[in-house]
Amino acid sequence: MATKAKKSTNKKATPAKTVTTVTRIKASDSAPNKQAVLPVAPQTKTGAKPVSRVSVKSVFKPFVAMGIYFKGAWYELRQVRWPDRKQTWGLTAAVMIFSAFFIVLIVLLDALFKYLFEIILR
């Protein structure tokens, strides 16, 4: 008579809550030990979002986002190192010289190709 092996009924214990941490580093940090660790809530596997009513916060959310964007843009503009008058005129002259050089180059190449095509087509 053969004996049957019993199936194990022990299931692996799943933790009730898992917490993932996200490390955020700011550009102004000089040392790597100045990191902010923020807990992130676990995501559900079903993917279904709970149905909620429209709140006042959700109505103004785009305006808040635009305000944050413009605040960041203004902060970045304040960090720009703008050229003085002398640098501006120097850079303007450089652009004009390069533009004139390439205009002459293109006109000469055009004349050369026109001459070559006239010789070939005669």
| Most confident of the ranges 9-23, 24-38, 48-62, 77-91 | 77-91
What Å distances lie between residue 85 and 53, 77, 121, CA to CA? 57, 19, 54
| pLDDT on residue 84 | 95
Torsion, CA 25, CA 31, CA 32, CA 33, rounded to 10 = -100
CA distance 97 to 89: 12
| pLDDT on residue 4 | 56
pTM of the model: 0.38
pLDDT at 35 over 70: no
Taking residues 98-119, what's their average pLDDT?
97
